[in-house]
Structure 1
Amino acid sequence: MQWAAVAALALVAAGCADTNTSGVSGPDAGMLAAGNPASDVVYDQVEFLGNPLVSEVTIVKAQHEAYNRTQPYNTATFRPQTDQFITGVAGRPAAYAQTVSGVLYPDMLVVDASKPASTAGWLSWALAEGYGGRKLTDDVVDVGLIAIFSSLLSPAGASCAPGALPLCTDNVGANDKPFSNAFPYLASPTL
């Protein structure tokens, strides 16, 4: 099962290629790389979004471009910003901020394809002794807001109850389009 996850990741990475030394750009460059491992393909990372809560909520907007160009293990540069957001904006104690940011960094999704999909859930590996992973149906925005602002994990400095407006939910109930049954399983974009 883990080889399937690696293969899927390779296909996604190949589709993200935008230039190579042969001059081919766009999706063709990715296919060229997938079909010829010896080709010199140069990838241009334009977005880094492991956990949307980290970059979209806790990183200062002026730093988004730098964050988008970083790697998941760049904890020393950006984790202090996340801690500052949790203590400064959310008003939570420093120890609480360090606990939450310790779960969010390194900023990457943890997936173990050898575990039953029914036990996956975003942040579950740290909060519920699960293994991690993320279902497409997981409401990661609400879970993140609940982790930062609500009384679920600690009442100290909490702003609201889990799922309550204005800070502990985005008030969006579900995806507006159904997910696909075929890879990459995402819903079609809204144009």
Structure 2
Amino acid sequence: MELRINRRALVGLGVAAALTASSFALLRTDTGSASSHREAPAIAGDPRNDNTDTYAFVSPDKPGTVTLLANWIPFEEPQGGPNFYTFDTKSRYNIKIDNNGDAQPDVTYQWTFRDEDRRGTNTFLYNNGPVTSLNDANLLYRQHYTLKVVTAKGTRTLIQDGIVAPSNVGPASMPDYGTLRAQAVKGLPGGGRTFAGQADDPFFLDLRVFDLLYGGNLSEVGQDTLQGYGVHTLAVQVPAAELALKGDAKRNPVIGVWSTTDKWSPKGYVQVSRLGQALVNEVVVPAGLKDAFNSLPPAKDADIPAVVKRVTDPEVARLLEFIYGIKAPATPRNDLVEIFLTGIAKGNGPIKADLNSQTLNKDAGKLRPSEMLRLNMSIPPSKDPNRLGVLGGDLQGYPNGRRLGDDVVDISLQAMAGAAQTGKLVPGLTDKVDRNDKPFLQSFPYVALPGNVAVNQQK
């Protein structure tokens, strides 16, 4: 497909999708939240099943492939022993792909887990000596996983008995944790790769936004309040053709991506968490609908007028006007609906550009508006990525998918202040946290290694 991009329109408006995902963060008073960490009442008490972030991007070192990555278990304190963090053995963890625009999953990567615990009544230790490999006898507790892929053709097992990278206990227990974690990257049939294990939380921001929008005068900025915390990551890197409609990534390059958790109950598996774009449930969906949103598939989104209204008439713009005197853009924000629910395409709304809607796929049917992370796989990786993504003229960045280094908070604040309409940045409107505290890896799975220094000791 020939990609037709109106760069000026996208610089001015395309960032609004990221804004939609994070704008209502300013309405929350719970300062223990970031992205979709603890975003709804029920899941806040069930961290092993809580999605925190979802990422989808063309692999920078393997452009013919796409990396899909999702995180769970927010705010992992590195010194979390003696029972370190684990996936729930009674749940299914999913990364789902819609490639034809009907808001139904066409490809699902699904992980399930089992414990191997040899501690018994003999010891409280996670390991009883230095651990140098995933199969080291000194590692007394480990998790195993099965990875399946579900398509219209049926279910196929990709990994039967993978081993999860253990938590980073410390230098005495794991003297070369980087080598140890690298052993958890496994090959997939067809040339792909997968990873399951602990990582540094890649999301970065200053959570003092909740104190009257950075203190009411932008004095409370510059502190990455997620520094030092970890998450548990599940990731796959696969050829683009495995995700594309009819297996043709050139003819049908756009996919929609979201992750979910299905927890076992007496009624069978029940979806308890869902994550597409950053911050959606936490800060867009009103409190009374948060648990319901976590339980619903994207195909139901358009049937919830209360949520759609929060997109077309976002309250944060009015808060910025009230606190900082920045005039709110006129409503209704139909541009946000296009970016948030349909993807960017000339036929979908006021943005006169084609970027990341499944309607751009030659073989797609009728589009069902829905919230998910949308990625055009035909746009090559940027040689010099801009943290502001589309707002910074980098069409491979958020909201066209999401890379680890995309600064969704600054993008969101600028857009809500009017950059989505004017294409001009508001000077000084930033949380001054421009990057993760740890550099990302240059190869799969890209997420930085988890720390082993207590968060209250971070300098």
Fold match, TM over 0.5? yes
1:81 shift after superposition: 2.2
State the match for 1:143 in structure 2.
411
Unaligned runs of 5+ in 2: 1-61, 71-86, 93-110, 115-143, 158-260, 264-270, 321-327, 342-369
**Is the alpha carbon distance of 1:123 and 1:60 closer, same or farther for their aligned partners in structure 2, counting shifts above 3 Å?**
farther
The answer to whether structure 1 residue 111 and structure 2 residue 375 are counterparts is yes
2:420 to 148, 153, 160: 153
**Is the alpha carbon distance of 1:49 and 1:146 closer, same or farther for their aligned partners in structure 2, counting shifts above 3 Å?**
farther
1:137-186 deviation digits (Å, cap 9, x = unpaired): 110121122212x232336xxxx953634xxx333121011213343322
Higher strand share: 2
Asked if the contact 1:2–1:112 (Cα under 8 Å) also holds between the matched residues in 2, the reply is: no
**Is the alpha carbon distance of 1:118 and 1:94 closer, same or farther for their aligned partners in structure 2, counting shifts above 3 Å?**
same
Q: How many residues align?
A: 170
Q: Which has the higher contact order (CA 8 A, sep 6+)?
A: 2
The answer to whether structure 1 residue 68 and structure 2 residue 297 are counterparts is no
1:116 shift after superposition: 0.9
Asked if the contact 1:17–1:43 (Cα under 8 Å) also holds between the matched residues in 2, the reply is: no
Higher helix share: 1
SS of residue in 1 equivalent to 2:314: helix
Q: Hey, what's the Cα distance between the residues in 1 that align with 2:64 and 2:155?
A: 17
Q: Give RMSD over aligned pairs.
A: 4.2
Asked if the contact 2:298–2:371 (Cα under 8 Å) also holds between the matched residues in 1, the reply is: yes
Q: Hey, what's the Cα distance between the residues in 1 that align with 2:146 and 2:156?
A: 12
State the match for 2:338 in structure 1.
102
State the match for 1:82 in structure 2.
311
State TM-score, norm by structure 1. Answer: 0.62
Unaligned runs of 5+ in 1: none
**Is the alpha carbon distance of 1:185 and 1:50 closer, same or farther for their aligned partners in structure 2, counting shifts above 3 Å?**
same
1:7-26 deviation digits (Å, cap 9, x = unpaired): x55x96xx898447xxxx95
State TM-score, norm by structure 2. Answer: 0.30
Q: Hey, what's the Cα distance between the residues in 2 that align with 1:127 and 1:60?
A: 30
1:118 shift after superposition: 0.9
Asked if the contact 1:54–1:104 (Cα under 8 Å) also holds between the matched residues in 2, the reply is: no
Asked if the contact 2:113–2:146 (Cα under 8 Å) also holds between the matched residues in 1, the reply is: yes
Q: Hey, what's the Cα distance between the residues in 2 that align with 1:187 and 1:59?
A: 30
SS of residue in 1 equivalent to 2:418: coil
Q: Hey, what's the Cα distance between the residues in 1 that align with 2:420 and 2:427?
A: 13
State the match for 1:92 in structure 2.
329
1:54 shift after superposition: 3.0
- The aligned amino acid for 1:173 is D
- The aligned amino acid for 1:84 is D
**Is the alpha carbon distance of 1:136 and 1:27 closer, same or farther for their aligned partners in structure 2, counting shifts above 3 Å?**
same
**Is the alpha carbon distance of 1:43 and 1:33 closer, same or farther for their aligned partners in structure 2, counting shifts above 3 Å?**
farther
State the match for 1:37 in structure 2.
155
